[in-house]
Chain A
């Protein structure tokens, strides 16, 4: 899941305080689950802003909504329609960065502000604690490291760890951070596969990650079913390009 954290309200307030009518949109998927931007948080933010504006004697109308997912056209369309119909001047998204981008793309001239800081892809290791577990690097090597990702879970993303900074199972950067490579070693020891670490992993090809530029994933069989024109055609062309080896 994408893990996010709500921005402080004073920052959010500074984004929207010069509009007369704003819409706060939560996201019913990832940011709901990580307690950063679901319907309840929309209420909290709306309430907090109203109190803040009340204090300054500002009259700003705050509307509330929540999309099932802010990263799908069908769900976002409903929001876009509402924004246009009700004359909303600015949108505050409590979805992840994807939601903000996606709604901004659809709304074009109406500003969409981020209400949360999008943090990482992570898991809820215990109630209220989320830990980064995947860096979305586009070339998974988890089969080599006992299912623990050195890219996401080692502070230095090294492939031949652990470095000399591992102490009592913790990373040199903080006693609160687990040493990813210590986890890998412990896991592979348990699995009886520790000897696999003898192999030197060569420098990796980061072009599959963001370092290779903005990425896209195309499922051609689905794309070909969509209507011709617009985004889908572009996607198809890109798919062909990809097939032909760039």
Chain B
């Protein structure tokens, strides 16, 4: 599992909640900057199943997003999907680059090509090991490839991730079943130094009730697999699905798409206890699927061995006092539900035939004997990961264990020892205090309408589209940039209280020196820009390096012919609606002497930042703010205007025209209005003599 990019005392909860600690906050920032490629690299570093997780992740990042307290969480999962979709070509070129990996002689066999197995394979291959993945099905991906319905996860998406993984040199052998076609011992004999069992929970559990053998009754996983095949099962009018988990929902919704008119889900749990994700339950309801909560199956009744319905008994409680699954029923309270088909989706279990013919031990409880800290089975060199290790889990958790398995195996192959890897918990940033939340500007989240239920029921096409670029940029802007706020240098701080007085969120306090509590700071940067001791910096984006950045920019054109007037333009990054505008057009503007520096909130510019361009040889400075009323930070604009006035008076004091500094607010689209602002500045500066005769 990759470490977060910056070591911090506490982390944004979107990062800590993510099983693979994806630096989601950084992703939002990179999207804002139009750095989609960098975002992709960061994403893949954490999660090779990013395409998949951009669609079906249970997104604990969003569940824990601190923005929820202000309005609604940031649509982080869809931002990830956007990154993937915006960088398809780049991803392919990345894969090509990664082929030239150092080779190591050790061979590793990975059994099972689900997200955990393939993640481990990917990591090991990146480390230079020779990895072969064995898959019993024709299609790799485990449940992703063989169970999850396509309306949720098109296969092309799964393939994107898998192709990526395979492209770096992972070998895949399909339609070979362990324990039947070959054994662990065979692999060891063939020279595999380590074997990773990642076969998951591939078998559906069944029920032991009267009539369960009747025709028209299916188990969930075989059912879903058939749904994906070229010959999907034919459904009767009435279908009953037993179970309340995510698989049950998949089954129910698939049944609807296969023509079942009335689908009833029967589950032991109450509505609140249902293990399925809430949004899945909601979408199922939209598709006219009824859910009968707190009922358990008592018997199947059939006619001529054909299922006709299900007798139910009331479930009083699902869990025992210790929280364990221990359902209690009231046998006197019964009901019946008619059904042409019954599909059992009450859970999955592992297929332990994989260890057949080896000395890998199985527990009396019919589970693989393994150490959750070292991921080792009872046999040295044989490891396990994924659901076989953890029990039912989400894809992203599978990815996490894949990373851990790769580490464990690499360590083993290098040292012969087991690596103890407890699950890493990162300290999360405290909750957003109410008084701070109140001061934060509310921004309506970008929501993507699902296809209408009647349309989506007609086929298995994906029901939700991804963000457009404009939407992604807008949504990324909603990120509160947790933990990237202001930090005061105790050595320099004079406790002057300027920060305390100007902080629009009442965050800063002065104890002995200034303190900006992380859980409150909104990283607006006003205090950093106004600090008279230059003691405050933003942890992520400050303007402290602005001068160096300008120097670099101007140095890059030093030897070329400099177009005059030379204008530096500080522009509010948040106004940009397409990355094309940041990259492509700036080239053409450079040719006309306009150099653009995009800043996430130009209110962060200090007086020295405003003066620097002139010092470095620019003729003019055009500052372009976001459009009226769109600034995220109260008072930011007036503060900036004050600093611009100050800078102008400094210029005037040394005999340089203050009118060389222009300030504009974006009107309408940046693409249109900015170019006209630049044109105005350019024309004006044509009338004014250059500041000196030297070249920048």
The answer to whether any beta carbons of A and B sit under 8 Å apart in the complex is yes
Please report A residues at the B interface, Cβ cutoff 8 Å: 8-10, 13, 28-29, 32-33, 35, 38-41, 43-44, 47-52, 54-57, 66, 124, 127
Given the interface pairs A33-B496, A47-B615, A47-B650, the reply to whether A52 lies near B655 with Cβ below 8 Å is yes
Q: Is A51 within 8 A of B656, CB to CB?
A: yes
Tell me if A's interface is mostly helix, strand, loop or mixed: helix
B474 CB to closest chain A CB, in angstroms?
34
Q: Is A9 within 8 A of B534, CB to CB?
A: no
Q: Is B615 within 8 A of A51, CB to CB?
A: yes
Cβ contacts under 8 Å, A32 to chain B: 494, 496, 532-533
CA distance A10 to B492 in the complex (A): 28
A66 CB to closest chain B CB, in angstroms?
8
Cβ contacts under 8 Å, A41 to chain B: 532
CA distance A41 to B612 in the complex (A): 13
Please report B residues at the A interface, Cβ cutoff 8 Å: 492, 494-498, 501-502, 531-535, 606-608, 611-612, 614-615, 617, 646, 650-651, 653-656, 691-694
Q: Is B608 within 8 A of A38, CB to CB?
A: no
Among B495, B617, B646, B650, max chain A CB count under 10 A is at B650
Q: Is B501 within 8 A of A127, CB to CB?
A: yes
Closest to A49 in B: B654
Given the interface pairs A32-B494, A57-B693, the reply to whether A48 lies near B532 with Cβ below 8 Å is no
Q: Please tell me which one of the listed residues A35, A55, A66 contacts residue B498 in the complex, with CB atoms under 8 A apart.
A: A35
Q: Please tell me which one of the listed residues B494, B655, B692 contacts residue A38 in the complex, with CB atoms under 8 A apart.
A: B494
Q: Is A39 within 8 A of B492, CB to CB?
A: yes
CA distance A66 to B498 in the complex (A): 18
Closest to B692 in A: A54
B595 CB to closest chain A CB, in angstroms?
18
Cβ contacts under 8 Å, B655 to chain A: 10, 52, 55
Closest to A62 in B: B615
Q: Please tell me which one of the listed residues A10, A29, A39, A57 contacts residue B654 in the complex, with CB atoms under 8 A apart.
A: A10
A9 CB to closest chain B CB, in angstroms?
4
Given the interface pairs A10-B655, A39-B532, A40-B532, the reply to whether A51 lies near B607 with Cβ below 8 Å is no
19 pairs, A vs B, C-beta closer than 8 Å: A32-B496, A32-B533, A33-B494, A33-B495, A38-B496, A43-B534, A44-B608, A44-B646, A47-B650, A48-B611, A48-B651, A49-B654, A51-B656, A52-B655, A54-B617, A56-B692, A57-B692, A66-B533, A127-B502
Q: Is B694 within 8 A of A47, CB to CB?
A: no
Q: Is A54 within 8 A of B607, CB to CB?
A: no
Closest to B531 in A: A40
Cβ contacts under 8 Å, A49 to chain B: 654
Closest to A41 in B: B532
Q: Please tell me which one of the listed residues B534, B612, B617, B653 contacts residue A40 in the complex, with CB atoms under 8 A apart.
A: B534
B191 CB to closest chain A CB, in angstroms?
65
Given the interface pairs A55-B656, A127-B502, the reply to whether A38 lies near B650 with Cβ below 8 Å is no
Cβ contacts under 8 Å, A50 to chain B: 615
- A-B residue pairs, 8 tightest by C-beta: A52-B654, A9-B653, A38-B532, A47-B611, A39-B534, A33-B496, A43-B608, A54-B692
Q: Please tell me which one of the listed residues A13, A28, A54, A55 contacts residue B533 in the complex, with CB atoms under 8 A apart.
A: A28
CA distance A29 to B492 in the complex (A): 9
Cβ contacts under 8 Å, A48 to chain B: 611, 650-651, 653-654
Q: Is A54 within 8 A of B651, CB to CB?
A: no
Closest to B534 in A: A39
Extra inter-chain contacts (9) besides given A35-B498, A40-B533, A66-B492, CB under 8 Å: A9-B653, A28-B533, A35-B532, A39-B533, A40-B606, A41-B532, A44-B608, A47-B612, A127-B502
Cβ contacts under 8 Å, A127 to chain B: 498, 501-502
CA distance A22 to B54 in the complex (A): 57
Q: Please tell me which one of the listed residues B498, B501, B615 contacts residue A54 in the complex, with CB atoms under 8 A apart.
A: B615
CA distance A33 to B535 in the complex (A): 12
Q: Is B607 within 8 A of A55, CB to CB?
A: no
Cβ contacts under 8 Å, B533 to chain A: 28, 32, 38-40, 66
Cβ contacts under 8 Å, A40 to chain B: 531-534, 606-608
B224 CB to closest chain A CB, in angstroms?
64
Q: Please tell me which one of the listed residues A28, A55, A56 contacts residue B494 in the complex, with CB atoms under 8 A apart.
A: A28
Q: Is A9 within 8 A of B494, CB to CB?
A: no
CA distance A32 to B611 in the complex (A): 20
CA distance A40 to B496 in the complex (A): 13
Q: Is A54 within 8 A of B534, CB to CB?
A: no
CA distance A28 to B501 in the complex (A): 19
CA distance A41 to B614 in the complex (A): 17
CA distance A41 to B494 in the complex (A): 14
Cβ contacts under 8 Å, A33 to chain B: 494-497, 532
B539 CB to closest chain A CB, in angstroms?
19
Q: Is B611 within 8 A of A52, CB to CB?
A: no
Q: Is B532 within 8 A of A13, CB to CB?
A: no
Q: Is A51 within 8 A of B494, CB to CB?
A: no
CA distance A44 to B608 in the complex (A): 5
Cβ contacts under 8 Å, B691 to chain A: 51, 54-55
Cβ contacts under 8 Å, A55 to chain B: 654-656, 691-692
Cβ contacts under 8 Å, B694 to chain A: 54, 57
Cβ contacts under 8 Å, B617 to chain A: 54
CA distance A41 to B530 in the complex (A): 10
Cβ contacts under 8 Å, B494 to chain A: 28-29, 32-33, 38
Among B495, B502, B534, B691, max chain A CB count under 10 A is at B534
Cβ contacts under 8 Å, A66 to chain B: 492, 533
Q: Is B492 within 8 A of A9, CB to CB?
A: no
Q: Please tell me which one of the listed residues A28, A51, A57, A124 contacts residue B611 in the complex, with CB atoms under 8 A apart.
A: A51
CA distance A23 to B656 in the complex (A): 23
Cβ contacts under 8 Å, B532 to chain A: 32-33, 35, 38-41
Cβ contacts under 8 Å, A29 to chain B: 494
Closest to B530 in A: A40
Q: Is A8 within 8 A of B606, CB to CB?
A: no
CA distance A35 to B533 in the complex (A): 9
Closest to A42 in B: B534
Q: Is A51 within 8 A of B534, CB to CB?
A: no
CA distance A157 to B609 in the complex (A): 44
B342 CB to closest chain A CB, in angstroms?
73
Cβ contacts under 8 Å, A10 to chain B: 653-655
Among B494, B502, B608, max chain A CB count under 10 A is at B494
Cβ contacts under 8 Å, B498 to chain A: 35, 127
CA distance A43 to B532 in the complex (A): 10
Closest to B606 in A: A40
Q: Is B650 within 8 A of A44, CB to CB?
A: yes
Given the interface pairs A9-B653, A43-B534, the reply to whether A28 lies near B608 with Cβ below 8 Å is no
Closest to A11 in B: B653
Among B497, B612, B692, max chain A CB count under 10 A is at B692
CA distance A52 to B651 in the complex (A): 8
CA distance A54 to B607 in the complex (A): 18
CA distance A43 to B531 in the complex (A): 12
Cβ contacts under 8 Å, A35 to chain B: 496, 498, 532
Cβ contacts under 8 Å, B496 to chain A: 32-33, 35, 38
Cβ contacts under 8 Å, A47 to chain B: 608, 611-612, 614-615, 650
Closest to B529 in A: A40
Q: Is B502 within 8 A of A52, CB to CB?
A: no
A107 CB to closest chain B CB, in angstroms?
24
Q: Please tell me which one of the listed residues B492, B651, B693 contacts residue A51 in the complex, with CB atoms under 8 A apart.
A: B651
CA distance A8 to B650 in the complex (A): 8
Cβ contacts under 8 Å, A44 to chain B: 607-608, 611, 646, 650
CA distance A29 to B653 in the complex (A): 26
CA distance A41 to B496 in the complex (A): 14
Q: Is B534 within 8 A of A38, CB to CB?
A: yes
B34 CB to closest chain A CB, in angstroms?
30
Q: Is B650 within 8 A of A28, CB to CB?
A: no
